[in-house]
Amino acid sequence: MKKTITYTILSICGLLMIIPFIWMLTTSVKSQLEVNKGNVGFLPIENYKVYFDGENEYLVTVVKTVGDSAIVHLFDEKMVRIATYKKIASNQITEKKEFKLHFENFTNAFNKVPFKRYFFNTLFVSFSVVIGVLITGSLAAYAFATMRFKGRDFIFYLFISMMMVPQPVYLIPSYVLLNHLGWIDTYQALIIPWIANIFTIFLLRQQFKTIPSALFDAARIDGCGRFRTLWTLVLPLSKSVIVTSAIFGFIGSWNSFMWPLVMTDSPEIRVLQVGLSYFSQESSAQTSLLMAASTFSILPLVLLFLILQKQIIASFASSGLKG
């Protein structure tokens, strides 16, 4: 009994959480005409009236009914107007309901602006950032976790304290700086400032510290240098934290919006989120195209999430315990 209540509540809440996505999907396969007609429910069912004149079938919009006859406009299946203010008998008009999926919305949206380019840019930037973050992060974390040197704790806590600074604070001076470097509207502006991540350094350092020092001693006795120890001993033992860091880096980079919005301008460099934002401003009335574009732009991350859900949820959960 108690379990039933729990499951009911969880299901209702779960439904509320994914309704926007379901509606996004169903609207993305509707024709814009249906949406504008106010047919905004969940099922992509189209209501329309047809007129059969003995040879061809036409789509009909009724202007006025007078007694048994109706004054109508006729259209062909491509909504090209065939006749206007034609008088026909009312009983020749039949109402039809059809379940129809307009997958062409996806190709139309995809081709309307260079989404292909935006996807490429986003993938390129995200992969570069992830690789950069892992390289700089594991090198720095390795030093912080296993080596003794002057100023180590000071530098580490200086880094950590900078994690507290919110992005809007360094956005404007970064713009000034990147402008000075001539990097505005280049890939560098999207990649270089992000190839070191303080949180990643922190996560990796925590992990590296858990490796028993006896292993390091053994490696040293065997004549294994620092870098080789990192590469052959430390990193293989830290796979899960590396995956976690990569996931955070990738999701963060893929979804980042304000930074690329400010730092880039031309369509050649534009990333997906910014491209989608411009697309939504240009085609604000094209609801079903917008839904199609939203769908394909979140699809890669949702797929990634569905494949790696255990790992991703565990990563986010651990960010709370350690952070």
User: Which residues, numbered 128-147, are part of the site for other proteins (CB under 8 A)?
Assistant: 135-137, 139-140, 142-144, 147
Q: How far is the CB of 170 from other proteins (least distance, A)?
A: 4
Q: How far is the CB of 136 from other proteins (least distance, A)?
A: 4
Cα–Cα nearest to 200, from 147, 160, 155, 257: 160
Choices 89-97, 110-118, 238-246, 303-311 (CB under 8 A): range interacting with other proteins:
303-311
Is residue 313 near other proteins by the rule CB under 8 A? yes
CA angle 308/313/317 to nearest 5° reads 150
Q: How far is the CB of 62 from other proteins (least distance, A)?
A: 22
Is residue 254 near other proteins by the rule CB under 8 A? yes
Q: Which two tokens stand for residue 285?
A: 């009335």
Residues 8-67 that bind other proteins (CB under 8 A): 9-10, 13-14, 17-21, 23-24, 27, 35-36, 38, 40-41
Q: Read off φ and ψ for residue 218, nearest 5 degrees.
A: -60, -45
Q: Cβ closer to other proteins: 56 or 167?
A: 167
Q: Read off φ and ψ for residue 62, nearest 5 degrees.
A: -90, 125
The CA R_g of the chain, rounded to the nearest whole Å, is: 29
- Out of 1, 81, 105, 148, the residue judged to bind other proteins by CB under 8 A: 148
Cα–Cα nearest to 301, from 276, 266, 267, 322: 276
- Out of 1, 176, 214, 221, the residue judged to bind other proteins by CB under 8 A: 176
Residues 64-123 that bind other proteins (CB under 8 A): none
211 with 230: CB under 8 angstroms? no
DSSP 119-184: HHHHHHHHHHHHHHHHHHHHHHHHHHHH---TTHHHHHHHHHHHTTS-HHHHHHHHHHHHHHHT-T
Count, residues near other proteins per rule CB under 8 A: 94
Cα–Cα nearest to 204, from 119, 258, 122, 145: 145
- Out of 49, 73, 262, 311, the residue judged to bind other proteins by CB under 8 A: 262
Choices 44-52, 57-65, 108-116, 196-204 (CB under 8 A): range interacting with other proteins:
196-204
Q: What is the dihedral of CA 32, 33, 37, 43, to 10 degrees?
A: -60
Residues 211-230 that bind other proteins (CB under 8 A): 226
b/e per residue 106-137 (b: at least 16 CB within 10 A): bebbbeebebebbbebbbebbebbbebbbeeb
Q: How far is the CB of 13 from other proteins (least distance, A)?
A: 7
Q: Cβ closer to other proteins: 244 or 294?
A: 294
Is residue 195 near other proteins by the rule CB under 8 A? yes
Q: How far is the CB of 298 from other proteins (least distance, A)?
A: 5
Q: Cβ closer to other proteins: 92 or 185?
A: 185
